[in-house]
Chains A and B, each alone.
Chain A
Amino acid sequence: EIVLTQSPGALSLSPGERATLSCRASQALGGTYLAWFQQKPGQAPRLLIYDTSSRATGIPDRFSGSGSGTDFTLTISRLEPEDFAVYYCQQYGSFFYTFGQGTKLEIK
């Protein structure tokens, strides 16, 4: 089973700032099978990025993903008030999917 470790656990930033979230896999992913999700309290997760760097339908271009092998990054170029939430990475490069433990993005 592939273990995903996200860092930092929490990130405190102000609107307008740039956010950089990390996701590290315990072994190299097959292909680019890494996704990022946003979750707000009381809601289901929402897919932001799939295949490492492709934005899902309706996702603003301030969200971008990059990485390869074992190291992946989600970047939010200029934070909007609605971006403060919890972010999870998910790998689907094996038969058994896994999620990272999440990064909480808080308003400073």
Chain B
Amino acid sequence: QVQLVQSGAEVKKPGSSVKVSCKASGGSITNFAMSWVRQAPGQGLEWMGRIIPMLGLTYYAQKFQGRVTITADKSTSTAYMELSSLRLEDTAVYFCARGLRVGPTLDWGQGTLVTVSS
């Protein structure tokens, strides 16, 4: 059973960037799709985008296009999500999730709290 282990909580200033990592322990990411989903305090789930490492393809939700970059290192089974030009409303828990190339997000990381505060 794969375990997705995310990097720790971050506190950032408005206008800065944050990069969150997600390492697959006990499994690979190469033949899967790695998605990033965020959840603002008391709010619902918001899909941000995904990467298919084997194909090098990325897809981003329109809302985050131009501000988010999702990458993957197949050699270390680690996915990354970088969000730039941070705003106060980007404060949220950011989850990574693994799924089939066409399929739901099956395995989830524990979440990383990103707080944007001046």
Interface residues of A (CB under 8 A from B): 1, 33, 35, 37, 39, 44-47, 50, 56, 86, 88, 90, 92, 95-102
Interface residues of B (CB under 8 A from A): 35, 37, 44-47, 50, 59-62, 95, 97, 99, 102-106, 108-111
Complex contacts, A95 vs chain B, CB 8 Å: 59
Q: Is the CB of B50 within 8 A of A45?
A: no
Q: Is the CB of A96 within 8 A of B104?
A: no
Q: Is the CB of A99 within 8 A of B45?
A: yes
Residue ID in chain A nearest B47 by CB atoms? A97
Identify 22 residue pairs between A and B in the complex whose beta-carbon atoms are under 8 Å apart, listed by A's number: A37-B45, A37-B104, A44-B95, A44-B111, A46-B108, A47-B104, A50-B103, A50-B104, A50-B106, A56-B106, A88-B45, A90-B47, A92-B99, A95-B59, A96-B59, A96-B60, A96-B62, A97-B35, A97-B105, A98-B47, A99-B37, A102-B44
Q: Is the CB of B109 within 8 A of A44?
A: yes
